Structure 1
Amino acid sequence: MRSMTLLATLATNALAVALPWQSATDAASGTQLPLVIWHGLGDDFEREGLTEVAKLAESTNPGTYVHLIRLAKDGSGDRSATFFGNVTEQIAQVCEQLAADPILSTAPAINALGFSQGGQFLRGYIERCNSPPVHNLVTFGSQHNGISAFESCAIDNWFCRGAEELLRSGRWTSFAQSRVVPAQYFRDPEELDAYLEHSNFLADINNERVVKNETYKKNLASLNRFAMFMFEDDTVAVPKQSAFFSEVNSTTGEVTPLHERPIYNEDWLGLKQLDEQGKLHFNTSPGQHMHLSAKTLRKAFTQYFAPLEESRLSRPGLVVQRGL
């Protein structure tokens, strides 16, 4: 939820958010897909940390075109949009943004990387539009099963404090569910009825209501890989197990893993289908929420965003990626 912390120094002074993408012509190197990144709460596309991540992605897999999702023309507006806005409208905006990009829209597919809340938002993109289609989705510390508590904010962080107060005092109001971003993925099992009735975003993309959206399931099941990372010492995203779609009883602390939940066993989203095909990966990352090292990121980039062995990617159909 908070801005990421890179534990290793990645030298860069540039603020570029897009790096050259090219389809490799050497059969040995294969096709390098573009990479789309959606940052988390309190971050913005102009942050040096995100530029460092883009540089690392390119150095790990040369030729990677990196697009940092933005919801405003400048960093300040983009950061504000992580706290206040309608997530459904924001995802629709991103659908238009990616479809209009001349490189992303003409690539055979794209890879996607979501940091914290950006992970469940990218999943919403896949389920709702997925054009251009996502090949591999990787999420770090994302709240796929929502949050049941909101972090305390620094005194001088007015964006965060405003969102925190609205979330605590009226999370199920129409105002909060259409304007306060974290409220739209708040999910306390003890308030499940209110959640199912009023949730603007999460209850929909998790297909938890009686009428299921088969397009959501079809789109998510089309992924080549869906890799989720949970931070081992996470106390910011509560519960941390939400990163794996697990449910945690807020009173007893009892954890119900994904494989024991109806969302998996009744396959509301295609997660069971992905899992049975070996395409659903559960990974852990050491440390606190969004405390990421270059080593961890480089390993993920190598495993999930390496060049495709085939020079063409057809839809539907799978292309084997090196190391998977």
Structure 2
Amino acid sequence: MAACRALTLTALLLTLCNGKTEADPVPLVIWHGMGDSCCNPFSMGAVKKMVEEQIPGIYVLSLEIGNSIPEDMKNSFFLNVNEQVDGVCKELAQNPNLKNGYNSMGFSQGGQFLRAVAQRCPSPPMKNLISIGGQHQGVYGFPRCPGEISHMCDLIRKLLNYGAYTREVQDYLVQAEYWHDPINEEQYRNGSIFLADINQERHVNVSYKQNLQLLEKFVMVKFLNDTMVDPPDTEWFGFYRPGQSKETITLQESNLYMEDRLGLKEMEKAGRLVFLGVEGNHLQFSKEWFNKNIIPFLH
């Protein structure tokens, strides 16, 4: 018995001297953006590698929406967001690596999708939510798309012009589900099957607010030279002032904040809402910036 106590004390002293604990790193869940995939070596694959280099032993789950990389990419355009969120919630709940909680990091539209997970599915618990270029008040413009996916973007523009809030387009087109027309706010509130719901635009779902309050930190990254997202302010939860599409207002000036329908006002007062800015266009950042500004929230 004395020998056991001596070994335990020795292990404790070694732990204190090394400044380490035996606890495993908090797992990380990543959700990619439009036209991307879970495992692209030049995007999500590179991010996963950066995280693993900085936090040895971390478990990283980069979400694949579908059964293959091509299907994952296609679903980022054409699979109902509510179905995607439901599927992810089930996947996370069944993953034993996440049972004690996890951090999450969403890129572009993956940011608002992971926020929906936080609001709708509190188990397993999400600890920190990091939104990198997420569009939390939606978009009112569709970006140019490069190379091989440009034909998809042309189709999407035609569908949005046809009628973003028709049931057929809402059910079929991901980007329509966070299309926010500031000139027709009532049509947006009544027609949006995803964003208007998670932003409490029609009625207040008490559980959404309570679940979001469980986050330790909600970090929002805005790209200060963003030409892809319209308006860029949406990355910090700002948007156009209702009724026009020129002047923008901040989160703090919005009814969502002043009425505290999601608890963001309360979170900011408690220091749990974090706004980060980075020079560069959409999703353009350096490894050095990422390691300095994002990695600390993943420990």
Same fold (TM over 0.5): yes
Q: 2:92 aligns with which of 92, 95, 98?
A: 98
Rounded Cα–Cα distance in structure 2 between residues aligned with 1:153 and 1:230: 20
Rounded Cα–Cα distance in structure 2 between residues aligned with 1:95 and 1:234: 30
- Residue 154 of structure 1, CA deviation: 4.6
Taking the TM superposition and a 5 Å limit, the aligned residue runs for 1:1-324 are 26=15, 28-30=19-21, 31=23, 32-48=25-41, 49-104=43-98, 106=99, 108-154=100-146, 156-157=148-149, 158-209=151-202, 211-249=203-241, 251=244, 253-306=246-299
Larger radius of gyration: 2
Give the TM-score, by structure 1 length.
0.82
Rounded Cα–Cα distance in structure 1 between residues aligned with 2:38 and 2:189: 32
- Residue 26 of structure 1, CA deviation: 4.7
Contact 1:155–1:161, Cα closer than 8 Å, also in 2:
no
Kindly report structure 1 stretches of 4+ aligned residues shifted beyond 6 Å.
Answer: none
The number of equivalent residue pairs is: 279
Rounded Cα–Cα distance in structure 2 between residues aligned with 1:208 and 1:33: 33
Q: If each structure's helix is expressed as a fraction of its own residues, which one has the higher value?
A: 2
- Residue 206 of structure 1, CA deviation: 0.4
CA shift in 2, pair 1:280/1:165, >3 Å = same
Give the TM-score, by structure 2 length.
0.89
- Residue 155 of structure 1, CA deviation: 7.0
SS in structure 2 of the partner of residue 259 of structure 1: helix
- For structure 1, the 5+ residue unaligned runs are 1-24, 307-324
Aligned twin of 1:320: none
- Residue 252 of structure 1, CA deviation: 5.7
Aligned twin of 2:5: none
Contact 2:28–2:103, Cα closer than 8 Å, also in 1:
yes
Rounded Cα–Cα distance in structure 2 between residues aligned with 1:58 and 1:174: 42
CA RMSD of aligned residues (A): 1.6
SS in structure 2 of the partner of residue 208 of structure 1: coil
